[in-house]
Amino acid sequence: MLARRLATIIIFGAVIMEAQPPQPGSDPIAENLFPPELVMSHQKELNLDDAQKTYLRGEIQKAQSRFTELQWQLQDNMEALVTSLKQSPVDEAQVLGLLDKVLNAEREIKRTQIGLLVRIRNKLTPEQQARLQKLRAPAGK
Q: What is the pLDDT of residues 79-125, one digit of tens each?
A: 999 999 999 999 999 999 999 999 999 999 999 999 999 999 999 99
Predicted model pTM: 0.73
Distance between CA 89 and CA 42 in Å, rounded? 55
CA torsion angle 48 118 54 15 (round to 10): -80
The fold of 1-13+53-141 is Four Helix Bundle (Hemerythrin (Met), subunit A) (1.20.120)
Q: What is the mean pLDDT of residues 23-33?
A: 77
Q: What is the pLDDT of residues 35-51, one digit of tens each?
A: 999 999 999 999 999 99
N-term to C-term CA, the chain: 41
Q: What is the pLDDT of residues 124-140, one digit of tens each?
A: 999 999 999 998 876 54
